[in-house]
Amino acid sequence: MSMHTGIFSHAQLADRIGMVLQAEKAAAVYFDNAATSFPKPPAVIGAVTDYMTRVGGNPGRSAHARSVDAGEAVFAAREAAAELFGASNPMRVLFASNATDALNLAVQGILRPGDHAVTTAMEHNSVIRPLREMEARGVALTVVPCPDGRLDPERFSRSVRGDTKLAVVNHASNAFGILQPLRDIAAVCRERGIVLLADCAQTAGIIPIDMERDGIDLLAFAGHKGLYGPTGTGGLVLAGGFDTALLRPLKFGGTGSNSDSEVQPDFLPDRYESGTLNAAGISGLNAGIRHIFSLQDGVKSVHSHKKMLADRFINGVRGSVRGFTGYVPAERIETGVVSFNIAGMEPSEVAYLLSERYGIMCRPGLHCAPLAHRTMGTFPGGTVRFSFGIFNTEEEIDLSIQALGEISSGKR
How many alpha carbons lie under 13 Å from residue 331 in its C-beta half-sphere? 0
Instruction: Specify whether domain 54-294 bears CATH 3.40.50.880.
Output: no
User: According to CATH, where is 3.90.1150.10 located in the chain?
Assistant: 299-408
Specify whether the CB–CB gap between 161 and 116 falls below 8 A.
yes
Residue count (the chain): 412
Q: What is the sign of the dihedral through the CA atoms of 77, 82, 88 and 91?
A: negative
Other beta carbons within 10 Å of 294: 10
Residues whose CB is less than 8 angstroms from the CB of residue 356 and which lie 6 or more positions away in sequence, other chains included: none
- According to DSSP, the residues that pair with 337 across neighbouring strands are 387
User: So what's the pLDDT on residue 2?
Assistant: 39
The boundaries of every CATH 3.40.640.10 domain in the chain are: 54-294
Question: Could you give the CA distance from residue 373 to residue 294 in angstroms, rounded to a whole number?
Answer: 36
Instruction: Give helix 125-136 / helix 99-110 axis angle, nearest 10°.
Output: 30
**pLDDT score, position 13:** 56
* C-alpha triplet 277, 248, 231: angle, nearest 5°: 30
Instruction: Kindly report the pTM of this predicted structure.
Output: 0.92
pLDDT tens for each residue of the chain, 412 residues long:
334 344 445 555 556 555 545 445 445 999 999 999 999 999 999 999 999 999 988 887 888 888 898 899 999 999 999 999 999 899 999 999 999 999 999 999 999 999 999 999 999 999 999 999 999 999 999 999 999 999 999 999 999 999 999 999 999 999 999 999 999 999 999 999 999 999 999 999 999 999 999 999 999 999 999 999 999 999 999 999 999 999 999 999 988 888 989 999 898 999 999 999 999 999 999 999 999 999 999 999 999 999 999 999 999 998 899 999 999 988 889 999 999 999 999 999 999 999 999 999 999 999 999 999 999 999 999 999 999 999 999 999 999 999 999 999 986 5
Structure confidence at residue 412 (pLDDT): 54
Q: Does domain 299-408 have CATH number 3.40.50.450?
A: no
